[in-house]
Amino acid sequence: MDQSRKIVLWAAAILLPAAFYFSVITELPHVFVITVILLVFSSLKSKGWRVSDRSVIYLTGLANET
């Protein structure tokens, strides 16, 4: 397993429980689904998927608007 996929797995181990609890408490189940889809997409690419802080802010705002 290459280094980028290992990093994605560690990020998933940290993000998925937090995203799950956040989606349950705020009653926004699509936040968890979007997180899972983005992690799967990131693990499929050979070099991973680089995300800036601005992208995370915009995606969070978009998820809250839907």
Q: What percent of the chain has pLDDT over 90?
A: 6
Contacts of 6 (CB under 8 A, 6+ apart): none
Cα(58)–Cα(54) distance, rounded to whole angstroms?
6
pLDDT score of 47:
67
Q: What global pTM score does this model have?
A: 0.62
pLDDT score of 8:
75
Contacts of 13 (CB under 8 A, 6+ apart): none
pLDDT score of 25:
92
Low-confidence ranges of the chain (pLDDT < 50): none
Full DSSP string of 6-51: HHHHHHHHHHHHHHHHHHHHHT-HHHHHHHHHHHHHHHHSTT----
